[in-house]
A = this chain, B = another copy of it.
């Protein structure tokens, strides 16, 4: 069994050796996802999709608690609609998949598969909005979108991905800004509490903002390899689209006014983030909140009388406490199963064999620390929920420590370049916010501005990269 174990684990390339290959090994071998014959498109397998369902269920509840309702808008958008907001079409046109034929007939106008739905939704909102009494519009949709990306990687950047896009309209600019930040904060709460993923929230630069936005806010997480991941965005679109689409309402003062508009989204990309924040060389380490199986029960020496019965009894007694799976497959050894569940990142493993049963206990193994503890069977139903919380907390603290240790206060362009060429991670500096400077930084170091965080520090008066007056503490990093 020792030998088998070794072989099994060695199938995953160590992350220190080749992080990209480690990622590919993990997602393939844990059956989260697979490549398909359509370049850039992924098939999300049941284990990966179950993680997405857990994210969806949590986020959807939060959206509904804050008054949002779900709708569904068309997959296809006429080219003329996509072109109505100038910045928007410029940003998205290069990555649109075009439908040109329906059956045997060529279409009079090309249709874009939605890369995002602002334009088609605005066209409908225009019809639905009459008076200030109708506002706010607080709608969301869960759907697929397509962006014709050249270089793709499952979950992180794919031609098709699943996401939610919230689209709201408000009477005043203040309300729209409040909504933009409220949703960003919901994302942050979800990232930290459900995914155990620490994030920095803040504002994007003019260059990095969403095509058509007045301002884009983002949450940014740091991955194991020192690269940043934009994990969710919330846009204040002001009146850019509502003017372009001529959406107006009768105000309290009896005038026709343009409403203020927001949009915000998270996607299956978050799954990539979970993998790269928590995973290790044994494979996945899933935060309990999204783990499809929170507790894997593995019976040992099942040929011995009573073992399987007891394992089933245990499963029955725990199945309402957590997402528990009894792995009673006959064709695999316990050792093989241990390895598989480690690789698949189940937060807790319970081993139960004849001697354990005699002693009224089981062996409990934590995936995050690999600690093994004997636990009385009677105590399990109380212990497991507490332990899942403890694991979640511990994963968050570990990730936060990693992020803090990899956040560098950089003193000039050479320093930033050096950081980006070695350990990477977040670099922070008091930055001028000038677009030329931003482009220089990218060209020289490969890093992009990730965000101007809400929590500002005082890191100096001059921009360390160009010498202009400094404006804001800013985070830079290489990013996915």
Contact = CB atoms under 8 A, between A and B. Distances in A.
A144 B143 contact: yes
Contacts of A38: 74, 76-78, 111, 120
B100 A139 contact: no
Contacts of A45: 71, 128
Contacts of A76: 38, 41, 97, 146, 160
A41 B75 contact: yes
A254 interface: no
A100 B148 CA distance: 12
Contacts of A53: 70
A36 interface: yes
Given A38-B111, A98-B101, A102-B148, A74 B160 contact: yes
Nearest to A137: B46
Nearest to A144: B75
Interface in A51-104: 52-53, 69-78, 81, 93-104
Q: In the complex, which of the residues A36, A100, A101, A123 has the most CB atoms of chain B within 10 Å of its own CB atom?
A: A36
A338 interface: no
A2 interface: no
A44 interface: yes
B46 A148 contact: no
Interface in A331-363: 331
A127 B34 contact: yes
A24 to B, nearest CB: 16
Interface string A365-385: 000000000000000000000
A423 to B, nearest CB: 36
A73 to B, nearest CB: 5
A101 B111 CA distance: 11
Contacts of A143: 144
Contact of A101 (B41, B100, B160): B100
B37 A49 contact: no
A326 to B, nearest CB: 14
Q: In the complex, which of the residues A42, A72, A124, A146 has the most CB atoms of chain B within 10 Å of its own CB atom?
A: A72
A100 B100 contact: yes
Interface in A123-166: 123-124, 127-128, 133, 139, 143-144, 146, 148, 159-160, 162
A46 B74 contact: no
A152 to B, nearest CB: 12
A318 interface: no
A22 to B, nearest CB: 22
30 contacts: A34-B128, A36-B73, A36-B74, A37-B81, A37-B120, A38-B76, A43-B71, A43-B73, A43-B124, A44-B71, A44-B72, A46-B69, A46-B70, A46-B71, A49-B69, A50-B69, A75-B144, A75-B160, A76-B160, A93-B103, A94-B103, A94-B104, A95-B102, A96-B102, A96-B103, A97-B102, A97-B111, A99-B100, A102-B148, A103-B148
Interface of A: 34, 36-38, 41-46, 49-50, 52-53, 69-78, 81, 93-104, 110-111, 113, 120, 123-124, 127-128, 133, 139, 143-144, 146, 148, 159-160, 162, 331
Given A49-B69, A95-B103, 11 more contacts: A34-B127, A36-B124, A38-B77, A45-B71, A46-B139, A49-B72, A76-B97, A94-B103, A98-B99, A98-B100, A102-B148
| 4 nearest A-B pairs in the assembled complex, by CB-CB distance | A46-B69, A102-B148, A41-B74, A44-B72
